[in-house]
Structure 1
Amino acid sequence: MKAAQSHMATGLPEKLHLPRRRDVSFWIVLLFAVLPLWSIVPLSWAFVIYALRSGSVWTYAWCGQALFAAALCEVFFSAYHYNLSRFISRQSPLPPTNLAELQGALKRVLLAGLANLPEDGYDEESLDIDRPGSPAETITLLDFDDPRAVDFRNYLRTWFNKMPWSSIHKNELHAWLYWSIFNAPFTSFDALPASHQKVLQEATQMIESRSGSKIPDGSNPAVKPLRLTLDPVNVAWRPFVWYVGVALSNYILRRRFQNIWKAQIGTFNGLDYLLRVPSNWDPLTGPRPIVFMHGLGLGLTQYQRFLTQLFRQLPHHPVLVPLQPHVSQEIFHPAYLRPMSWRKMANCLASLLNELGWADLDEQEDEGLTSSETAKGAAETKVPKGVTVLSHSNGSFTHAWMLKAHPGLITRSCFVDPVTFCSWEGDLCYNFIYRSCATGMELIIKYFVGAELGVANFLQRHFDWSSNSLWYEEIPAARDPSKNMFFLGGKDAIVNAERVRRYLTSHGVRKGLCYDPNGRHGQALLSGTSGQKTILQWLQRA
């Protein structure tokens, strides 16, 4: 019996990944949502060409001429959209990253899962050590049937389009490693500088030890490694009227938040934001400010219901919402195709918090201070207490950047559907960019979000995997539920929530983890759900 189980486990990385069958919801979304929107552009071209070639445009009544003008706008805009698509298809503009930092990040990836941590987690009330887990381990040669090696082979093959592990040869492994380390295309090992060859050899040896297997020499053309910032950009066109509608909706919502909730719309060093500060709030005695980092989609249009609930139920809390046009389909914004680098964004946001008086950038950045020591020092010296950061989905990347660059400014963290954990395993990139859609929800996410020009530019040309990956040991007091909360949905179509849950619980996160086996991506923020109630109750305790 044990032998059979062992065989099944070791055979998992060799399991052939078969295409999934598309269900009814896929065809419903395709026929009634995607195709009607997609067809506006070709129909506009056909109408304009027909009207001009036949000369009938001059005989149209006012309504016909208005329709022709709208179609002509779509034609011109589609040409503009096409040029922008070609522009972002060039090689990734990411600047070179410090080689030592990247090698350290890669080693940290290989260390993940090495420690024999119980999946049900430690008891955070009795655990003595602050940082249990894999960083204390060393990479040694594992046996082929070691469960840690089997698991490693199974999730690493996701970066190779989930091909059987034994089909991955050194040439394809080197191509993937060269992208992940140098963000550059790989030609051949012999053509590389000696210093780059040494880096690849060391990385390959560590992977062979970690996987408990020897990578075959040579090449297998059937295996294509996923190289996110080098592969062709996946962009689906959408009409001018769509972008006009998104821009108009977000503009109206900005005015609405200003009029109803007395919020401010401002810009700080190129960062747009929505800010609500209660008139009677005191920075020393009042409740802790909240910073909400939104995810991919439609910006305020997508999150207006949640923000309304947030403003209504927490009337005494200051709230800051950094607006990110590059992931909000704000194509008319000057920064639409120019997202900030992770360091610039983190420093800009930290400076804004300092400018608002919510956190003291100089006082709270002292090295060696824990979050409890920082809070104690804040009380004694009467400096601001720091902020609570609430992030959803893609917003967890910015959340992670702040924790890496300015951990002293964040005293409480709430992650909802975080994509920053376990992103090194490849499920996130595969599910969002490369996977063929089989359900209606997957098609909605792929067409209306993932394949949008600005989102594709951000994810496929500005994705920095090492800075986007957040580790347990980078979260102060991660096991303290009063300071950190994590919300996951078991039926999340983007995040492999089960693996994220296992990662967190194995490091002792238990009471601060809300896992809904039937929850979907974004469900915890919806009005009336238990997830939203729990989030708002937790925020009120600040």
Structure 2
Amino acid sequence: MIRTIEDYFHIKVQEGYNPDLRCVRLDLDPVQTIHRPLIVYLAIYICTYFFNLVFLQTLWGFTLTTDQNMWGGAFALLDGVWNHTEKRSKHISYWSRLRKNDKVPIVFIHGLGAGLMCYAEFLHQLLLAEDRSVFLIELPYVSMRLVDHVPNAVEAVEGIKEMLHSSGYHQAVFVSHSMGTGISSWVSKYASDLIAGSVMIDPICFLLHHHHVAFNFMHKLPQGWMDYLLRYVVARELYISHFISRHIKWYEMIHFGHQLKNTSIFLSERDRIIGSLLVHSFLSSKTPDVHIMPTLEHAQFLVNSKWKSLILEHIHKISRKADFNKLH
């Protein structure tokens, strides 16, 4: 391997051993975490409960189907008291709002953070624009909910397939952000027939054999307030860090750019996790519908009305095309 590197980069590696040089082994290195007081998780529980009750259930008319792993620790008992649902799923939890029409449904998969409530305004605009069935997949193990149960790739895809088939659907348009694109990549690998179209925002699933995602998320030293926010609020949370360090298998999650028909991809120019320009260069030969969002950080599209509107337009366009393809 060293000889290959030397030939490719036209360099000569000095012989010997340097004890100061260490490799990054994401799934073997110790899990890096920073303590959070119980009140932080209590606040997340209260905010999530309010969002689910007021927005998802009351205003938007969603119904919950759960695998009974929505919360961990004492919050699992508390959630069992307040939330009663007869709908059960084997491997995933999701919200569904079904419509009685023949349109291809939308499946939305969120990223790391505090779950679906971080996307409240974006989801509101999406639901206003689309009169079709919508499924919102919950990833509690990356939502700071004390959940350590993580389905593997095959189980997650089986859960998504069951979710669609149980509602009478065989395909969907997948809209995913950040870590959610990794789940979409699983679907493209193990059940590509489920995908009628796709919109990926800040995708982490491309070029995973490069160092950017693993190193930037877990090991890069903070250089600005966004780096500190990423590290101490998200990356060093116990259960998120555990998922990243022990459950991500890059060879399962990586997307090589195949089967990107009816797909739009949006990359934040100043993304501190993804090598956006490198990914853009890679994808430009795979699909023409790849967009760089100038000056934006990772997930900053959520507070940028221009790009948020453009993403929603692309979701609508891809959904309409999926409807057309279904009829023909």
Letter in 1 for 2:41: Y
Offset, 1:255: 1.3
CA deviation string 1:378-405 (max 9, x = no partner):
xxxxxxxx11001100111001000001
CA change 1:489–1:221 in 2 (3 A) is same
Offset, 1:445: 0.8
Which whole-Å CA distance do the structure 1 matches of 2:196 and 2:163 have between them? 16
CA change 1:217–1:356 in 2 (3 A) is farther
Residue equivalent to 1:263 = 62
Letter in 2 for 1:523: Q
Indicate which of 71, 82, 96 corresponds to 1:275. Answer: 96
Taking structure 1 as the reference length, what is the TM-score of the superposition? 0.52
Alignment of 1:341 onto 2:119: no
Residue equivalent to 2:206 = 421
Alignment of 1:504 onto 2:252: no
Superposed, which structure 2 residues align to 1:74-153 within 5 Å? none
CA change 1:235–1:277 in 2 (3 A) is same
Residue equivalent to 1:459 = 244
Superposed, which structure 2 residues align to 1:518-529 within 5 Å? 518-526=295-303, 529=305
Contact map agreement 1:523 1:531 (CA 8 A) in 2 = no
Offset, 1:210: 4.4
Offset, 1:208: 5.2
Offset, 1:522: 1.0
Residue equivalent to 2:22 = 224
Offset, 1:295: 0.1
Residue equivalent to 1:325 = 140
CA deviation string 1:197-243 (max 9, x = no partner):
xxxxxx55655554455655542111110011111211001111110
Alignment of 1:309 onto 2:148: no
SS at match of 2:95: strand
Which whole-Å CA distance do the structure 2 matches of 1:319 and 1:289 have between them? 6
Superposed, which structure 2 residues align to 1:271-420 within 5 Å? 271-278=92-99, 281-282=100-101, 286-314=102-130, 316-331=131-146, 336-359=147-170, 386-420=171-205
Q: Per residue, is there more strand in 1 or in 2?
A: 2
CA deviation string 1:23-82 (max 9, x = no partner):
xxxxxxxxxxxxxxxxxxxxxxxxxxxxxxxxxxxxxxxxxxxxxxxxxxxxxxxxxxxx
SS at match of 2:111: coil
CA deviation string 1:395-436 (max 9, x = no partner):
110010000011111010111000111221111111111011
Offset, 1:277: 1.3
Letter in 1 for 2:122: F
Report which of the two structures shows the higher radius of gyration computed on alpha carbons.
Answer: 1
CA deviation string 1:322-379 (max 9, x = no partner):
1011000012xxxx112111121112212221222110xxxxxxxxxxxxxxxxxxxx
Which whole-Å CA distance do the structure 2 matches of 1:432 and 1:298 have between them? 17
Taking structure 2 as the reference length, what is the TM-score of the superposition? 0.85
Which whole-Å CA distance do the structure 2 matches of 1:470 and 1:210 have between them? 24
Contact map agreement 1:292 1:389 (CA 8 A) in 2 = yes
Which whole-Å CA distance do the structure 1 matches of 2:3 and 2:165 have between them? 46
Contact map agreement 1:396 1:415 (CA 8 A) in 2 = yes
Which whole-Å CA distance do the structure 1 matches of 2:260 and 2:282 have between them? 16
Q: Per residue, is there more helix in 1 or in 2?
A: 1
Offset, 1:252: 1.6
Indicate which of 291, 294, 310 corresponds to 1:514. Answer: 291
Identity, in percent, stands at 26
Contact map agreement 1:246 1:301 (CA 8 A) in 2 = no
CA deviation string 1:233-281 (max 9, x = no partner):
1100111111011011111211121111111011211311111113xx2
CA deviation string 1:152-171 (max 9, x = no partner):
xxxxxxxxxxxxxxxxxxxx
Letter in 2 for 1:241: I
Contact map agreement 1:489 1:516 (CA 8 A) in 2 = yes
SS at match of 2:209: helix
Which whole-Å CA distance do the structure 2 matches of 1:524 and 1:444 have between them? 17
Letter in 2 for 1:540: H
Give ranges in structure 2 of 5+ residues lacking alignment. 67-88, 320-328
Letter in 2 for 1:259: T
Indicate which of 217, 229, 232 corresponds to 1:447. Answer: 232
Contact map agreement 2:115 2:143 (CA 8 A) in 1 = yes
Which whole-Å CA distance do the structure 2 matches of 1:423 and 1:270 have between them? 25
Residue equivalent to 2:78 = none
Letter in 2 for 1:274: W
CA deviation string 1:82-139 (max 9, x = no partner):
xxxxxxxxxxxxxxxxxxxxxxxxxxxxxxxxxxxxxxxxxxxxxxxxxxxxxxxxxx
Contact map agreement 1:254 1:265 (CA 8 A) in 2 = no
Residue equivalent to 1:493 = 272
Alignment of 1:536 onto 2:312: yes
Which whole-Å CA distance do the structure 2 matches of 1:275 and 1:345 have between them? 17
Which whole-Å CA distance do the structure 1 matches of 2:3 and 2:157 have between them? 35
Letter in 2 for 1:322: I
Contact map agreement 2:260 2:286 (CA 8 A) in 1 = no
Contact map agreement 2:111 2:177 (CA 8 A) in 1 = yes
Between the two proteins, the alignment pairs up a number of residues equal to 295
